[in-house]
Amino acid sequence: MVQIFGTAKSPGTLKALRFFKERGIKPQLVDLQRRAMAPGEIARFVQKFGLSALIDTGSKAYERAGLAYLRLSDEALIQRLLDEPQLMVQPLLRLGATLTIGWDEAVWRNWYQHQRRVG
């Protein structure tokens, strides 16, 4: 099952939901405003992409938080992302062990083909 981690107001999250729904796949939305990501879940994304790839440096939330000027440990930064999901690039997607960050249509199309074969 495709899991989409993001906030319900995020254009990227809404776009990802629409992508899969248009293809008849019902993804599971994990709304990060309602439920924080599990530490183990975010650790998977950090391990694959690196912590800096998860941070949306172009967001208003990033600017307001002044993160460009703060020196935080990785643990403190991860906690900040969990507490303030609008600081993260969205959406984060997972299908089994495969992960993506942001819009990645090529990978999603492969997932779609896989879901059609299995489901």
Beta-ladder partners of 98? 95
Total domains present in the chain = 1
Evaluate whether 101 touches 45 at the Cβ level (below 8 Å).
yes
pTM of the predicted structure, to 2 decimals = 0.91
Closest CA to 86 of 3, 8, 4: 8
Residue numbers of the domain that contains 71? 2-118
List the chain residues with pLDDT less than 50. none
For residue 49, give the CATH number of its domain.
3.40.30.10
- Please give the Cα distance from 4 to 16 (Å, whole number): 8
In sequence order, the 6+-apart residues with CB closer than 8 A to the CB of 17 are 4, 27, 29
**Cα angle 7, 46, 108; round to 5:** 60
**Interaxial angle between packed helices 105-118 and 11-21, expressed in degrees from 0 to 180 and rounded to the nearest 10:** 30
- Residue-level pLDDT at 119: 62
**Are 93 and 108 in contact, with CB atoms under 8 Å apart?**
yes
pLDDT, position 19: 95
The pLDDT value recorded for residue 70 is 92
